[in-house]
Chains A and B, each alone.
Chain A
Amino acid sequence: MTAVAAEREVLLDVAGLSVHYRGEAGAGVVRAVDDASLQVREFETVGLVGESGSGKTTIGRAVLGLAPVAGGEISFAGEQLTRASARKRRLLCADLQVIFQDPYSSLNPARKIGQTLAEPFRAKHRRSPAEGVEHKVGRALEKVGLDPEVADRYPYQFSGGQRQRIAIARALVTDPRLIICDEPVSSLDLSVQAQVLNLLRTLQTELGLSYLFVSHDLAVVRHVSHRIVILYRGRVMEEGPADAVYAAPAHPYTRILLAAAPIPDPAEQRRRRADAAATRNERMHKAVTAVGAGCPFAARCAHATAVCEAEQPDMETLANGVRVACHHWRELRSVEHGGRR
């Protein structure tokens, strides 16, 4: 699967993206995203993982044109997005859609479902679909398993899971190629979450969609993603096929992240806890305030050396297709392999 994916056309190419916000007075500039690169190929789901402040949501918003780009390039289907004219952007945005986290805020409570779903056809310079807007909206609702009749109702008549389906239908109405999913299931209960995850998968198979799947939930990301990108403080730490990253995390941060997420299996969790206790270090507790010139994770990393704090590591490609930004990944890997055997 990985090999096939690599041959597919690159749909979204984010190269060296930086997004800066003006911080509070005296705090200077906040680098929400700092020189981050990633690609999404056709028919592929890329999981974007990180903790709060990692910039994962900001990358998605930058792709959508909702966050100011300070540097780097974003291209979609070969077209430049970063410097695209408003008109071109509008044309492209039919192919590029979004599903947000909060199904309550993402639908205007005062507008009927049908009105909300027809919104993309209100855009200027866009041809109305041949079969008519109403038909198109009905089709999109059917695709997400809802009755086209719901177009006449208001959002308050639906549960969180149903609203998220409606949000997906809105994303589908323009027949997009890529959907940015910004934590699409994190506000849903476990029993409803599975329904939405399955729906996203079915739609991908049927419509040939690509997803950029932003989430903090490692289990969900693992379940849906072909490839994953691990972010820390606006930088990409590790990136590669999901199975490879989860099986053998190369970056110390990825390891800590994976070890920290408890899994629903008491026996296995006990073993993991023992492992984690063995590798625990006091540096993890350190409150990190400023990022120096080096690796952003250096301040919390158990393996950090002088070079980590001085120099930003380059992205290196491993044999299994994983790319990692760490000065010491080789030693770490050999130590671990030595220890295991």
Chain B
Amino acid sequence: MTSAKLDVAPGEPSPGPLRWAYGSAHRWLGRHWLLGTMLRRALTLVPLLLAASAINFILISFIPGDAARDILGDQASAEAYAALRQELGLDLPLWNQYTNWLGAAVRGDLGTSLATNEDVVSVITERLPVTLWLMVGALLVIAVAGIVVGVLSAVRRNWISRLIDIVAMIGFATPSFWIGALLISWLSVSLGLLPASGYVAFGDGADLWLQSLILPVAALGLSSTATVAKQVREAMAEIMGSEYVRMALASGVSYPSIIFRHALKNAAPRAVTVIGLSAVSLVGGAVLVEALFALPGLGLLSVTSVQKHDLPMIQGLIVYFAVMVVAINVLVDVSYAWLNPKVRKG
């Protein structure tokens, strides 16, 4: 499968799911291209996770001192220190430590937190919904607002286009945590409309849950919206000037059909690509926004774990974040192939 992946012109957003799936050796997958695409992408997860965790291990090996010293403090006896090192497996060569971790990880065991002694998987799983809701909300804002505004400004090329350019530039220049700070300052502190920090689980009241998410979602989503709108507008404008749109016009096809069927369906793959890229960058943005709004998600957990040198937790988080990025890429790939019958060469 990996070699099949290499045969496809590698690299571009998604050159090959269909071509790969239609390969003569994979007739069955040819009929189930969706599954093929997902399988192929899922397989890229393996080297990615290996690489990410290995980088992490190598970096950690450079830490002066180690987890045992962190736990016991400087006053502990040499014997206790050595015993704990053995218990934690820190006396083994780096390679063995890595394979041990890997072996456990495959069985779904990412170890125990050094800071709280809790199971890494259960801590992360518990906090995952916060980050997921935050990102899904931000993505919805980005996708819906971005596409609507982009199409509008492509159809009516007026001041909206100029405004989008300016807003997109300001959005590019404004960090999400600063937008968040402004929102807190206006809507929470001055007007007292929405909570400035904290998270209420969905089970504890849907209205409170929604209120606790509005500002973080806005902070995370707003800066990318104009970028998506700009890309959609450019794609639409390009398609509206294309030969096939001209020929559709020449055949008497109506204007609404040209915009909402002919052009939009062709612009969709580019919209999906840029939304996918935004989604990947949201992973980083979520860390900052969670820290700002004190949302107990994976981002905040990453920051505190780094501050506490909680290495098993950091490793676990890396695994989860990498899976998220790959999941986003799978979704992009699948919708790309679904929207675009001719999966173009890279």
Residues of A within 8 A of B (CB): 24-26
Contacts and interface: CB of A to CB of B under 8 A. Distances in A.
Given A25-B20, A26-B25, A26-B26, 10 more contacts: A24-B19, A25-B7, A25-B8, A25-B16, A25-B22, A25-B23, A26-B19, A26-B20, A26-B22, A26-B23
A24 B25 CA distance: 13
A24 B21 CA distance: 12
B18 to A, nearest CB: 10
Nearest to B16: A25
Nearest to A24: B19
Nearest to B25: A26
Describe A's contact surface by its main secondary structure.
loop
Interface in B10-33: 16, 19-20, 22-26
Contacts of B24: 26
A299 to B, nearest CB: 21
Interface residues of B, number: 11
Contacts of A26: 19-20, 22-26
A24 B346 CA distance: 12
Contacts of B26: 26
B140 interface: no
B214 interface: no
A29 to B, nearest CB: 13
Interface string B60-99: 0000000000000000000000000000000000000000
Interface of B: 4, 7-8, 16, 19-20, 22-26
Contacts of A24: 19
A26 to B, nearest CB: 3
Contacts of B16: 25
B346 to A, nearest CB: 12
B345 to A, nearest CB: 9
A52 B104 CA distance: 58
Nearest to B345: A24
A154 to B, nearest CB: 29
Nearest to B22: A26
A252 B7 CA distance: 39
A25 B40 CA distance: 15
Nearest to B6: A25
Contacts of B23: 25-26
A26 B8 CA distance: 10
A26 B17 CA distance: 12
B3 to A, nearest CB: 11
Q: Pick the 6 closest A-B CB pairs, nearest first.
A: A26-B23, A26-B24, A25-B19, A25-B7, A25-B23, A25-B20
Nearest to A26: B23
A26 B29 CA distance: 13
A25 B7 CA distance: 6
A26 B19 CA distance: 8
A26 B20 CA distance: 7
Contacts of B20: 25-26
Contacts of A25: 4, 7-8, 16, 19-20, 22-23
Contacts of B25: 26
Contacts of B7: 25
Nearest to B20: A25
A25 B6 CA distance: 10
A26 B26 CA distance: 9
B119 to A, nearest CB: 44
10 contacts: A24-B19, A25-B4, A25-B7, A25-B16, A25-B19, A25-B22, A25-B23, A26-B20, A26-B24, A26-B25
B65 to A, nearest CB: 51
A24 B20 CA distance: 9
A232 to B, nearest CB: 26
Contacts of B8: 25
A236 to B, nearest CB: 30
A26 B27 CA distance: 10
A237 B192 CA distance: 85
Nearest to B5: A25
A26 B7 CA distance: 9
A28 B4 CA distance: 13
B200 to A, nearest CB: 50
B26 to A, nearest CB: 8
A38 to B, nearest CB: 32
A24 B19 CA distance: 7
A223 B24 CA distance: 46
A20 to B, nearest CB: 15
B277 to A, nearest CB: 26
A24 B9 CA distance: 9
Nearest to B8: A25
A284 B7 CA distance: 35
B152 to A, nearest CB: 38
B73 to A, nearest CB: 59
Nearest to B19: A25
A14 B62 CA distance: 62
A26 B25 CA distance: 7
A25 B26 CA distance: 11
B259 to A, nearest CB: 33
Nearest to B24: A26
A29 B22 CA distance: 16
A163 B22 CA distance: 44
A106 B1 CA distance: 40
A27 to B, nearest CB: 8
Nearest to A28: B24
B196 to A, nearest CB: 54
A173 B305 CA distance: 69
A187 to B, nearest CB: 20
Nearest to A22: B7
Nearest to B26: A26
A116 B8 CA distance: 36
A83 B95 CA distance: 47
